[in-house]
Amino acid sequence: MDAHEHGGRRWLNTNDSTWTPGSWKTLGMRTTCKEADDTAKDETVDDPRTSSETAFTDQCMASDAVFFGADQDAQGRSRGQVNGTLVLDLCAWDTHALATLVLAIMAQEVSGYKVSLSKSGVDVDITERMSSVGSVWTSSTMSDLRVYFNESYQAGNVGYYGLSGVYTTKKFVYFWKHYKLSDDLINALSVVSFKANSKYYPPADDFCPDGTMGCKDNCEKTEACTQRELNGQDCLMLALMVPGYDQGYFQAVFANLNIPAYFLNQFASDAATNGTPAVFYHYEPDLFHVTRKGLFTRVGLPRTDPARVKLATGDYGEHGFGKKTDNPVDVDYPSLPLSKFAASIVKDLPIGSLFSKLSLSDTDINDLLTEYSIAMSDAAEPEPYFRAACNWVKANYDIWSDWLDRLPLCTFEDHIVSHVTGCENGSTVRNTSLPYNCDGGVAALPATIATSRSCQWISDNSRVWAGWIDMKPECDSTFYDYNVSQCDSTAHRTMLAIFYVGDIVIFVGWYAADFPEPTVTTEEASEFRGEVDRISCCSSSFIFTALLIFWKLILLVLGLYLSFLIRNVSVDFQESPWISGSVVVVLVGCLLIMPMSYLVQMPAATYYVFLACTLLICTVLIMGLMLVPKIFRPKEVATASSGSSKSVDTY
């Protein structure tokens, strides 16, 4: 098997063929990826509510709600895909929008979900809508959120903490008691001066109707301020945001600390730039503090105490404008973990793990707000929230990679793609891009296995040859296609008979055409003076002797050629190197004996000594080439089984 890539879920696709010598197939493996024609399915959320045809249509949504379905066209002519998508709730808070879009990018680009975004209302209704959100301030809304906890669940904290508080311009004042006792400080924050500035008062909108939360003319007032005004003195001004934010908390704290203050619902955003003293309610993290870094400081109210915070009633102005409140809280606002909520239907889905692990630190959310501020300054950027979240995800792999579950271990059965070469009729162009669908397990690819099995067998028996990766098979009769006759006296020896036929034909023709006749040859004696008559049987021509020698030469060359053809067959079933060596020994022996027999005249004793020694040496060498390798072969097999396997084995 030609293992050049890793992983995957595709298998053999081969054509049937019959093996012939030289038509080796290669079983190869590589990892899968989403190729151009890959039909890998996206993750879906099987929710009967989103499968409805009326889900998120105009008839089922508030007039100010907006829905962005998956694959929605750029012009917004349709709501996009709803069914099966992961619906994320997107609210107006900057931190909420940024955290939610980070989650949306992770869900779609990493986890494979199609994501829809819904801008459907206030945070307190999220459990009713049963969709995940980026963050929720839970201090005053948890009781409302719990109403629908049977159909949703809290997926943990976002990571960073929310902190409301009272802020002032830096270096103006650092300790809360000055707001109670210092006339100079109170006069610097004079409510009379503030009301005289038409830029801030009266507000353009009626934020706090008279009679609500102790309001009058969009202002709230502490009892200490009422007493101070009765004495002809001024009160300081504390700017608030919407009254519903931390409802009645800081109004009650100022009242219970006897700080003479008016609470006005118009925010003085330019206090830091023009040097105007200002005290105002705000919260962190927020873009306001990121873009005005170092310009404001938090007023140090009495240290927060969980037991005192728990006494907060969430009300103020029960007895009217400037009257004493029944809300007893008198400590600073606590830092609160911001929570994530999701529909119970996604709890056991793969995305549920990402929900629970998503965690943005204070540094992370400040980085996101900084990216958002940069994107906001670009007039050509249509979606600054998305651009900020996208830039953060691209730059912070080390952070969000910890939110993902460990991939499953790579296994041969599930993540290795096997393919066959040598069975195709033409070339195949493949996309070699790989997926990210396993980790660990099979760390190295198996070595190539060459096989003589047919393509049809490879296609039908993937489970059989897959086991060869770990343990090579024992070669039995199913690996071969040949017949061996029984080794007895009646067995046929076809190949041996063919060799004999050549010799028989030459001898029959020789004896029929030129039968050897007795011949007397007179020669000079070598041992004494005189002549000797030698009687021998000779043919009249040397042609048949030459034919016999030529026939033996043909058999010798054929043996060399056959040993070359089977050189790659396992040494357990052939001995080509040793056979080749034996043939060479025979060839050398013939080259030595033939000239001495036919071309050189020597005494009989000398000739027979030379002939005997040559034959004995050749015989010993041939027996050594046949037997010695068999003696060392068991030791080689034992060594190979305990060591690493060869890169190419044949079966």
Residues forming a β-bridge with 538: 517
Q: What is the distance between the alpha carbons of residues 499 and 399, in angstroms, rounded to a whole number? A: 80
Exposure of 110 by Cβ count < 10 A (0-12 exposed, 13-18 middle, 19+ buried)? Answer: middle
- Say how many residues make up the chain: 651
* Positive or negative: CA dihedral 242, 248, 250, 251: positive
Q: What is the pLDDT of residue 179?
A: 52
- Structure-block tokens of residue 19: 């093996």
**How many Cβ atoms are within 10 Å of 318's Cβ, its own excluded?**
14
* 279 vs 141, residue with greater confidence: 279
Instruction: Report the percent of the chain where pLDDT is more than 90.
Output: 0
Distance CA 558, CA 495 (A): 13
The per-residue pLDDT for 409 is 79
Cα gap 97→93, rounded to integer Å: 6
| Phi, psi dihedrals of residue 439, rounded to the nearest 5° | -150, 130
Cα–chain center distance at 482: 49
Residue 506 CA to residue 512 CA, distance in Å, equals: 10
* 18 pLDDT more than 50: no
Q: For 301-447, list the strands marked E by DSSP.
A: 336-343, 417-421
**How many CB atoms are closer than 10 A to CB 381?**
14
The token duo for 522 is 């007179």
Mean pLDDT for 600-606 is: 81
Task: Tell me if 32 sits within 8 A of 7, measured CB to CB.
Answer: yes
Q: What is the pLDDT of residue 363?
A: 82
**Res 163 pLDDT > 50:** yes
How many Å apart are CA 303 and CA 306, to the nearest integer?
A: 10
CA pair distance 416, 410, nearest whole angstrom: 8
Distance CA(469)–CA(27), nearest Å, equals 11
**pLDDT (mean) for 439-445:** 71
Flag whether pLDDT at 630 surpasses 80: no
Distance CA 155, CA 122 (A): 19
pLDDT value of position 495: 67
Tokens standing for residue 329: 């809280």
pLDDT category, 265, cuts 50, 70, 90?
very low
pLDDT band at 254 (very low <50, low <70, confident <90, very high): low
Query: Which pLDDT score, from 0 to 100, does residue 267 have?
Result: 45
Q: How far is CA 329 from CA 257, 261, 281, 308, 311, in A?
A: 10, 16, 16, 6, 6
- What's the pLDDT band for 485 if we cut at 50, 70, 90? low
**Cα–Cα distance measured from residue 203 to residue 195, given in angstroms and rounded to the nearest whole number:** 10
In terms of Cβ atoms closer than 10 Å to its own Cβ (0-12, 13-18, 19+), residue 48 is exposed
Backbone angles phi, psi at 534, to 5 degrees: -105, 130
Instruction: Please choose, from the candidates 350, 362, 452, the residue with its C-alpha nearest in 3D space to the C-alpha of residue 17.
Output: 452
High-pLDDT (> 70) share of the chain, %: 57
State the pLDDT at residue 169. Answer: 59
Instruction: Give me the mean pLDDT over the 213-221 stretch.
Output: 76
First vs last Cα of the chain: how many Å apart?
11
- For 32-91, the pLDDT digits (tens) are 323 333 333 567 777 777 777 767 776 667 666 777 777 777 766 777 777 888 888 777
Domains in the chain with CATH codes:
162-337 (3.40.190), 498-634 (no CATH)
Q: Quick check: 96 and 158 in contact, CB under 8 A?
A: no
pLDDT of 572 reads 57
Q: Is the pLDDT of residue 19 over 50?
A: no
Q: What is the mean pLDDT of residues 421-442?
A: 60
User: Is residue 591 over pLDDT 70?
Assistant: yes
* Distance (Å, whole) CA 162 – CA 285: 6
Q: Give buried/exposed letters for 332-345 (b at 16+ CB in 10 A, else e).
A: bbbebebbbbbbeb
Is the Cβ–Cβ distance between 136 and 89 less than 8 Å? no
Higher pLDDT, 537 or 492: 537
Q: What is the DSSP letter of 283?
A: E
- Per-residue pLDDT of 520-534, as tens digits, reads 777 777 667 778 777
Residue 122: pLDDT over 60: no
Which secondary structure element, helix H or strand E, spans residue 587, and what is its range? helix 576-598
Q: What is the mean pLDDT of the segment spanning 127-143?
A: 47
Name the most confidently modeled range: 266-280, 307-321, 473-487, 601-615: 601-615
Residue with more model confidence, 34 or 559: 559
Q: Would the pLDDT of 365 be above 80?
A: yes
3-state SS class at 345: helix
| Residue linked to tokens 């609160």 | 336
Q: Is the pLDDT of residue 650 over 60?
A: no
- Sheet hosting strand 417-421, strand order edge to edge: 417-421, 25-30, 449-451, 649-650
DSSP 324: P
Report residue 522: phi and psi, to 5°.
-95, 125
Residue 188: what pLDDT? 62
pLDDT at residue 361 in the model: 83
> Which residue, 413, 361, 369, 409, is CA-closest to 391?
369
Lowest mean pLDDT among 246-260, 288-302, 501-515: 246-260
Is the CB of residue 296 less than 8 Å from the CB of residue 169? Answer: yes
Handedness of CA 33, 34, 36, 40 (dihedral sign): positive
Kindly write down the DSSP assignment for every residue of 292-303, as one continuous string.
TTTSEEE-BPSP
Residue that wins the pLDDT comparison between 461 and 568: 461
Q: Are 134 and 127 in contact (CB under 8 A)?
A: no
HEC profile of 437-452:
CCCCECCCCCCCEEEC
What CA–CA distance (Å, rounded) separates 400 from 359?
A: 8
Alpha-carbon dihedral sign for residues 187, 192, 193, 194: positive
pLDDT of res. 3: 31
Helix (H) / strand (E) containing 531? strand 531-538
- Listed range (10-14, 139-143, 318-322) with the worst mean pLDDT: 10-14
Q: What is the pLDDT of residue 158?
A: 72
The tens digit of pLDDT for each residue in 333-359 reads: 777 777 777 777 777 787 888 878 888
580 pLDDT tier (thresholds 50, 70, 90): confident
pLDDT in the model for residue 570: 63
- pLDDT bracket for residue 575 (50, 70, 90): low
Residues 6+ apart with CB under 8 A from 181: none
Question: Greater confidence, 258 or 48?
Answer: 48
Predicted confidence at residue 17, as pLDDT, reads 30
Distance of alpha carbon 536 from alpha carbon 40, whole angstroms: 91
DSSP 407: P
Neighbours of 40 (CB within 10 A): 12
The Cα–Cα gap between 229 and 212 comes to 22
Q: Cα–Cα–Cα angle for 472, 475, 477, nearest 5°?
A: 150
384: which strand partners?
none
SS3 content of the chain, % helix, strand, coil (to 5): 40, 15, 45
Distance in angstroms (rounded) separating the CA atoms of residues 651 and 634: 20
Confidence class for position 186, pLDDT limits 50, 70, 90: low
Q: What integer pLDDT is reported at residue 268 of this predicted model?
A: 46
Mean pLDDT of the chain: 70
Band of pLDDT at residue 288, cut at 50, 70 and 90: confident
As a whole number of angstroms, the longest Cα–Cα distance in the chain is 173
**pLDDT tens readout for residues 304-341:** 777 777 777 767 777 777 677 777 777 777 777 777 77
